[in-house]
Amino acid sequence: MKVYFDNAATTPLDPDVFEEMKPLMLDMYGNPSSTHAHGREVRTKIEYARRKVAELLNTVPAEIFFTSGGTEADNTAIRCTVEAYDIKHIITTSIEHHAVGHTVERLVAQGKVKASYVELDGQGHVNMDHLEQLLKSNPNSLVSIMHANNEIGTINDIEQIGDLAKEYGATFHSDTVQTMGHYVHDLKKLNCQFIVGAAHKFHGPKGVGFLRVCKSRTIGRFIEGGGQERNHRGGTENVYGIVGLAKALEIAYAEMESHQKHVQSLKTRMIEKLRENIPGVEFNGDISPEGSLYTVLNVSFPPHENNGMLLFSLDINGISASGGSACSSGANKGSHVLNGIKADPNRQGIRFSFSKYNTIEEVDYTVNKLVEILVPEAVS
């Protein structure tokens, strides 16, 4: 059996999304900046996609800028806000995705900003009292706190964070890559000036995403070149990627309720089966349905002689999982997220992440293989 449990890294492309993209790949090949009929036809497709994304997020098309993915969108939101609004202080957490964390570190190293890190509890939730203290002490800050963590799945209440940021006159950016397409984002109700999405996290194509810039904020050009993306991002648009993104998000919203129910059942079953069969197993982050991303489960296994080879052992048994963020694979420093929540460094954390295409049978197969590897006496 082949099992793909690394959907937080990327998801399989939905066949209906591919069908939506095909005409843009094969037949509708005009440059959308061209004024002739071939170009106008393609331009119409981009603007329809922009309207569709805006409609689903309950905002206006002028606030949606297409990018190459979540990393570019996060970088843009942070760097352009610092420049446009003369921001001197950023409030963030130690467990942000590297697209945020490394960007903040670089700005600090360049002497452009100072950074404060909000205290977290053992599950990765933001300490709201500490956040308020930091906001009181640092007016005109940029708050950059993710919606749900990509490694442990813990969800932050970005409505509450946004309201607090607004109260103290701060700008709020949230990395919503892991929750986009999995939860409803009503931008008219959310006090968050910048959110981001990446199509390949919700069964769309790789290499395309978007940045939402609230109309109350003005940022400058973030890629020099032509006048694409309303003079903000030069370069010929990834047309079939943009069309695919909009279709994938439309499907995600249409299927959201059934998708959540199915995927949560997989996560719940894996938690139950692991507890039943592997003594001493623990879970990193919040695993409650209310406080965690239903697509992500980070498992901490007891120290064992096979721990160091666990991912490899799973791989040779046809199971794809992750030690953390795909952007960190191959690094030897350990997970900055697990370090940030002070997880036991002697216990290996494995991230299993699920999608609508996974099954109960795959969960059971994976748990059985883990038992064979870690508790061989139980199957001897």
Positions marked active-site: 327
**Cα-flanking dihedrals φ and ψ of residue 31, to 5°?**
-75, 125
Distance separating alpha carbons of residues 56 and 41, to the nearest angstrom:
23
Q: What is the DSSP string of 266-286?
A: HHHHHHHHHHHHSTT-EEES-
**Cα-flanking dihedrals φ and ψ of residue 359, to 5°?**
-135, 165
Distance separating alpha carbons of residues 69 and 77, to the nearest angstrom:
12
Strand order in the sheet with 64-67: 64-67, 209-213, 194-198, 171-174, 142-144, 89-92, 114-117
Tokens of 120: 């977290």
Per-residue burial over 29-65, b = 16 or more CB atoms within 10 Å of its CB, e = otherwise: ebebeeeeeebebbbebbeebbebbbebbebeeebbb
The closest alpha carbon to 370, from 305, 282, 277, 287, belongs to 277
Distance separating alpha carbons of residues 350 and 211, to the nearest angstrom:
30
Pairing label, strands 142-144, 89-92: parallel
- Confirm if 114 and 106 have CB atoms less than 8 A apart: no
Pairing label, strands 171-174, 64-67: unpaired
Tokens of 36: 């002739």
Q: What single letter denotes the amino acid at residue 256?
A: M
The closest alpha carbon to 233, from 224, 243, 242, belongs to 224
